[in-house]
């Protein structure tokens, strides 16, 4: 066994200090990058404030969901609504009923969110509308600009566990596109 000297202890302390400094700088750079990406559409953050001023949340149905997503500027509102229907089993899942979580969003720690807590590891929301806004924020976090429909669905395919996820979404999208 090698003898522990003051020089070796000093060397290890210097290495640890450097590692800590590098990780701190890395976290700060990542935080700034996230903030800049989110600032891509700063009006999204005003949505939560405007929504909280509404008297009563709208009753959730397909038409209200698609309309709300269009109003809030979701990139592909019918596809996002289809995802909500599929993820919640037509708005009946426990996660949705207990936490207003339409998209099965996990509890968030590293990006801007409208979540107010968590339920079994999933984010909770004051209303289904806040869940929609959070899903839009997720898009802004994942993409630096609006992706093509194909790139967008490919990202969803990667996220999904079901191999037929996109095909199931597309069937639902066809029915939702008939809504006004």
pLDDT exceeds cutoff 80 at 170:
yes
- The 10s digit of each residue's pLDDT in 24-44 is 655 565 555 555 544 434 344
pLDDT tens-place string over residues 86-113: 999 999 999 999 999 999 999 998 899 9
Domain boundaries along the sequence of the chain: 1-38, 43-176
* Confidence label for 9 from pLDDT (cuts 50, 70 and 90): confident
Instruction: State how far the Cα of 100 lies from the Cα of 91, in Å rounded to an integer.
Output: 9
The pair phi, psi for residue 114, each rounded to 5°, is: -105, 10
Chain-wide mean pLDDT for the chain? Answer: 81
**Domain 43-176 part of CATH 1.10.530.10:** yes
Residue 58's pLDDT is 72
Q: Are 51 and 129 in contact (CB under 8 A)?
A: yes
Instruction: Count CB atoms within 10 A of the CB of residue 113.
Output: 19
Share of the chain above pLDDT 90, in %: 51
Using DSSP's 3-state secondary structure scheme, residue 41 falls into coil
pLDDT: which is higher, 137 or 47: 137
User: What's the whole-model pTM score?
Assistant: 0.67
How many beta carbons lie within 10 A of that of residue 34, not counting itself?
15
């Amino acid at each position: 066994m090698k003898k522990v000297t003051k020089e070796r202890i000093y060397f290890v302390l210097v290495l640890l200090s450097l590692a800590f400094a590098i990780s701190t700088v890395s976290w700060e750079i990542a935080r700034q990058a996230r903030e800049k990406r989110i600032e891509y559409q700063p009006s999204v953050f005003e949505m939560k404030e405007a929504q909280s001023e509404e008297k009563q949340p709208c009753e959730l149905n397909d038409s209200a969901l698609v309309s709300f997503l269009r109003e809030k500027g979701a990139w592909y509102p019918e596809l996002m609504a289809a995802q909500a229907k599929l993820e919640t089993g037509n708005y009946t899942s426990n996660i949705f009923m207990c936490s207003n979580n339409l998209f099965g969003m996990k509890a968030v720690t590293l990006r801007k969110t409208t979540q107010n807590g968590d339920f079994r590891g999933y984010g909770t929301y004051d209303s289904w509308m806040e869940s929609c806004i959070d899903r839009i924020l997720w898009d802004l976090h994942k993409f630096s600009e609006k992706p093509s429909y194909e790139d967008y669905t490919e990202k969803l395919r990667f996220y999904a566990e079901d191999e037929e996820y996109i095909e199931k979404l597309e069937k639902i999208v066809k029915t939702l596109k008939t809504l006004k």
